[in-house]
Each structure stands twice: as structure tokens, then as C-alpha cells.
């Protein structure tokens, strides 16, 4: 759906493993070297483990594609749980028909004949068992026995076990020590580090024919944080973020779109709201969430059209700390220019009882705001933030120092990544009601904001009915529908309170 809009000739982050998109991070290069060594040296048993989604299967396929033409391969995925069924499956993968009604001993003998024949013709045989953590002890023991199939000089069968960390735990058991002792090379595949995540995203986009810089640096950081560096999760979140960017008409994918995608997919969670009142603003300052709610426009004269390059050149702050300090000044919060930049500015806001909040929005959402906001812009490789005030359906007034620059929505939309930052005053609720099962006066406050009365015995309880009402509220405003009081929902509830910060 979004491929043409971003110049891609296919889905850059499709889930099925595709060696054409293979990216070798440091851990993957080390793992591949271990696998190649084990196969070339005919050591018998090689073990590769890793968490779900770290790229084990793709790496194993890449290994097999790198093997020379004189290698026969048998690939078993979630093999049979009986020894007879397992050996029969190996034979079928090697093009043999298992002898009917044969027991394990007869099947092993048939396999041995097949391996000796291949060896006589100068061929090597490799058995790869994927999802090997599902193998019962009896089959693992049978695998050990298969390593006994050998000539006087070398093994007839090279075995590669690929599985989740539970496989290593199984092999560490005392009753599995004979199997473990046969493993001559092993490697545990780790998730990407942040730099590898960045390189991975750029590689996938380039391989699909797109702009490797399509995701902003902030988006890549958010992607790494939400995925934990696990390639499969990176793919899922990035694919959803591209879809969201396409739906919003974004030229680039910003941090907010990634966090919205992660939240929708259940890979980004708000921390529990069990904090003392003095800590609420501090914690909320670090929350980066998604905020795509619907909005109405205020009546203002539309500002004139600005040339996109001129918008960035004349109104954008290229330093994040300068932009945050300018926003704080408009909020009446003094900013110390010597305090080290943006983070310190948000810390200063917390001391005054405010908090910085990052979010993703569409233009109608901005028009709903009753406060100035920083908008992140990108134009021809240049990036910066503008301080937007008086946003309407037609445009906004951009402020830099004492100078204002009217800019139209038409000029700003192609530049805006969808990311914004506001300064707000969180309500002093202790603790904040997070979701069903919570109890306290803060729940009464939430009921009041949602206009949801309840009998006295339920007034302070976050029951399923209140959760359903909250989900309806989130849906109506275009918020992620969670049925929980996350930071963005709290912000919007606070924003609609007349006269509140």
C-alpha cells in the first residue's frame, strides 16, 4: 500500500525471512563464522541459539546458500517427536523413501548407507534442525548417536541445531551431558545494539530501493527502544510506522509515528502510575507517546504561504536546547542558557510543576491545542524545530525570538515529521488510576472528566464499565484505544479542562 509513496519496490520490512535482505550485524557475523567453521571442519555438532526474532532462521538459510555445490542438505522444522519419525524425516529430506514399518535401528542403518554413498561420491551431508528446543530428550540422544556415523577419518553427517535459549538449558542438564559434549561449536545470537539497529533499518530500506534516511534519527532511537534490538520486532514496528506515515502523508517517518506503531502493536507500555505527587511531573517528562486525536479549528485569518526552504531557514531552531528554551520562555518559565540544553530545560519545567511531553499528531490535533508547541521539520537534509503558535486549519504562526513568521499549512505539512513537544502541568493525583482494578479518589476524578457517574460503592473503583467508557473516549478522539489512562489520554483530559495549564 505505501511502497510507491516511499519509492520502495517491495515491503522493506516484510516478516518472512529473505536472504536478499540479510544484514550481518557484529553478532550475526560472529555467529556465521562459527557455523561455517563447524560445517567446513566436519566437527559433527554445531549449536546456534537466540531469542525469538533475532534472525536465527535467516542466518541459517544464509549459511546453506553459502555452502558449495557438493553439499547435500536436510532441513527439519519442528521435527517429529519420536526417534523413528525423526530419522524417517531426515531420509525424506535427503530424497530417500524410508523403509516401511522399520524401527529406529533399521532407519538409522538406511541413513548410514545413504551417507556412505554420498561420501563415496565426494559429497558432504548437512542436517539443520530448526526450532530444536522442541526436541524431546530421546530425539536429542538419537542425534548424538547419528554423530557416530563416520569413516575412519571424518564424520558422515554434520548437524546444526538452531533453537531458542531453552535448548541450551536442556543441554545443560545432567542427563544431557553426553549430547552436550558432542557440541564442538556454539553461539548465542544477541539482539542488535543501537548503532546496528540504525544500520539495519538503512540497509533494509536501501535493499528495497528506498531512501536509507527515510526514518529520522529520533525514529531509529524509538524503534530500537521499542524493539529491544530484535530484528523481527524492528520489522513489525517499522512496517506499521510506514503505513501510518503513508496514511498521514508524511515524507519521512518520525519518532512519534514509530511510538504510535509500537503502542498499537503492544510493544510500548506506560509505567505504572504509582508515584508520589512530587514525582508525577518528573516521570511524565520522559514519556514519549502517540497523540492522534481529532480536533476542531479556531477562527483565525489564514497565514500566507511560505516557501518550504524559507520556513526552515528563517524560523527553525537547529539546536534542540534553543528550541526547548524558546518554548519555556513562551510558557513563562525562565530558561537558564547555561544549564546544558534541552533536557535541563525540561528539568527546569519540572521544578515549576510542569512537564515536557513528546507526541505524534495530525494537523487537526495541533489546531486543537491551546498552547504553543515545537514541531520537528526536515527539508532537503536539513532538520530543525519551529515554535508554532495559534495553529488553525489554514496554518500557524512561527515564532523565533521577537519575530513571527506566518506559514500556511500547505507549506508546513511536507516538512513536518509529525513529531511535536509541548509543556503542560500534570494533575496532582496520587496515585493516578492506570486501569481496571485500581481504586482511589483519582478514579473519582477520572469519572468526573468522562462524565461517568457511578453508585457510591463504585465511585472510586476502576471497573470494567469505566474501562469501556475510556475506550470509547479514546476511540472518539482518535487516540490509541487501550482502556487505560496512559499519559496521552491524561494530557488530553487535562487539556480540555478550562483554564488549566
Report pLDDT digits (tens) over 388-414: 998 888 888 998 888 888 888 877 877
Read off the pTM: 0.56
Residue 187, classed as helix, strand or coil, is strand
The pLDDT of residue 487 is 74
Quote the pLDDT of residue 238. 94
Q: Residues 311, 412: contact at Cβ < 8 Å?
A: yes
State the pLDDT at residue 112.
Answer: 92
Q: Quick one: pLDDT at residue 18?
A: 67
Residue 381's pLDDT is 59
Q: What is the pLDDT of residue 52?
A: 87
Residue 200 in contact with residue 26, Cβ under 8 Å? no
User: What's the pLDDT at 309?
Assistant: 59
- Between CA 462 and CA 247 the distance in angstroms is 34
Contacts 24+ apart (CB under 8 A), 436-442: 436/462, 436/463, 436/464, 436/466, 436/467, 436/483, 437/462, 438/462
How many beta carbons lie within 10 A of that of residue 295, not counting itself?
19
Contact 258, 216 (CB under 8 A): no
Point out the residues of the chain with pLDDT beneath 50: 269-305, 338-343, 498-499
pLDDT of residue 293: 26
Whole-number Å distance between alpha carbons of 76 and 70: 20
Q: Is the peptide bond before 431 cis (omega within 30 degrees of 0)?
A: yes
Contacts of 340 (CB under 8 A, 6+ apart): 321
Instruction: Note the pLDDT of residue 68.
Output: 79
Closest by CA to 22, choosing from 231, 238, 239, is: 231
Amino acid at each position: 500500500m505505501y511502497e510507491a509513496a516511499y519509492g520502495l519496490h517491495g515491503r522493506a520490512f516484510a516478516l518472512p525471512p529473505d536472504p536478499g535482505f540479510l544484514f550481518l550485524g557484529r553478532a550475526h557475523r560472529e555467529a556465521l563464522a562459527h557455523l561455517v567453521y563447524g560445517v567446513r571442519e566436519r566437527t559433527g555438532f554445531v549449536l546456534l541459539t537466540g531469542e525469538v526474532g533475532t534472525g536465527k532462521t535467516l542466518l541459517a538459510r544464509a549459511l546453506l546458500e553459502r555452502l558449495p555445490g557438493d553439499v547435500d542438505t536436510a532441513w527439519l522444522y519442528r521435527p517429529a517427536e519420536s526417534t523413528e519419525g525423526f530419522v524417517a524425516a531426515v531420509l525424506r529430506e535427503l530424497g530417500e523413501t524410508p523403509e516401511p514399518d522399520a524401527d529406529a535401528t533399521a532407519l538409522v542403518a538406511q541413513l548410514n548407507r545413504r551417507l556412505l554413498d554420498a561420501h563415496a561420491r565426494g559429497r558432504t551431508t548437512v542436517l539443520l534442525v530448526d526450532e530444536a528446543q522442541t526436541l524431546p530428550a530421546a530425539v536429542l540422544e538419537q542425534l548424538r548417536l547419528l554423530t557416530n556415523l563416520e569413516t575412519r577419518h571424518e564424520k558422515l553427517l554434520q548437524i546444526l541445531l538452531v533453537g531458542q535459549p531453552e535448548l541450551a538449558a536442556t543441554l545443560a542438564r545432567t542427563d544431557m551431558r553426553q549430547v552436550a559434549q558432542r557440541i564442538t561449536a556454539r553461539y548465542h545470537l544477541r539482539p542488535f545494539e543501537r548503532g546496528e539497529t540504525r544500520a539495519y533499518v538503512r540497509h533494509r530500506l536501501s535493499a528495497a530501493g528506498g531512501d536509507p534516511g527515510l526514518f529520522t534519527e529520533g525514529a531509529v532511537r524509538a524503534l530500537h527502544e521499542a524493539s529491544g534490538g530484535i530484528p523481527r520486532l524492528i520489522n513489525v514496528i517499522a512496517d506499521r510506522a510506514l503505513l501510518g506515515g503513508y496514511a498521514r502523508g508524511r515524507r519521512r517517518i518520525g519518532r512519534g509515528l514509530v511510538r504510535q506503531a509500537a503502542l498499537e502493536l503492544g510493544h510500548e507500555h506506560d509505567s505504572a502510575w504509582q508515584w508520589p505527587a512530587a514525582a508525577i511531573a518528573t516521570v511524565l517528562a520522559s514519556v514519549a507517546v502517540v497523540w492522534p486525536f481529532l480536533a476542531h479549528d479556531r477562527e483565525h485569518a489564514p497565514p500566507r504561504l511560505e516557501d518550504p526552504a524559507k520556513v526552515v531557514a528563517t524560523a527553525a531552531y537547529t539546536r534542540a536546547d534553543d528550541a526547548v528554551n524558546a518554548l519555556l520562555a513562551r510558557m513563562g518559565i525562565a530558561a537558564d542558557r547555561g544549564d546544558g540544553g534541552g533536557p535541563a530545560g525540561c528539568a527546569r519545567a519540572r521544578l515549576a510543576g510542569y512537564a515536557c511531553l513528546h507526541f505524534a499528531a495530525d494537523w487537526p490535533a495541533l489546531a486543537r491545542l491551546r498552547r504553543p508547541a515545537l514541531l520537528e521539520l526536515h527539508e532537503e537534509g536539513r532538520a530543525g524545530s519551529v515554535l508554532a503558535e495559534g495553529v488553525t486549519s489554514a496554518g500557524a504562526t512561527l515564532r523565533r525570538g521577537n519575530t513571527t513568521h506566518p506559514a500556511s499549512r500547505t507549506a508546513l505539512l511536507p516538512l513536518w515529521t509529525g513529531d511535536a513537544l509541548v509543556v503542560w502541568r500534570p494533575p496532582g493525583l496520587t496515585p493516578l488510576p492506570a486501569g481496571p482494578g485500581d481504586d482511589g479518589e483519582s478514579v473519582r476524578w477520572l469519572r468526573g472528566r468522562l462524565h461517568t457517574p457511578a453508585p457510591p460503592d463504585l465511585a472510586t473503583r476502576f471497573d470494567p464499565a469505566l474501562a469501556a467508557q475510556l475506550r470509547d473516549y479514546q476511540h472518539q478522539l482518535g487516540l490509541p484505544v487501550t482502556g487505560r489512562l496512559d499519559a496521552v489520554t491524561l494530557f488530553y483530559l487535562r487539556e480540555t479542562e478550562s483554564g488549566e495549564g
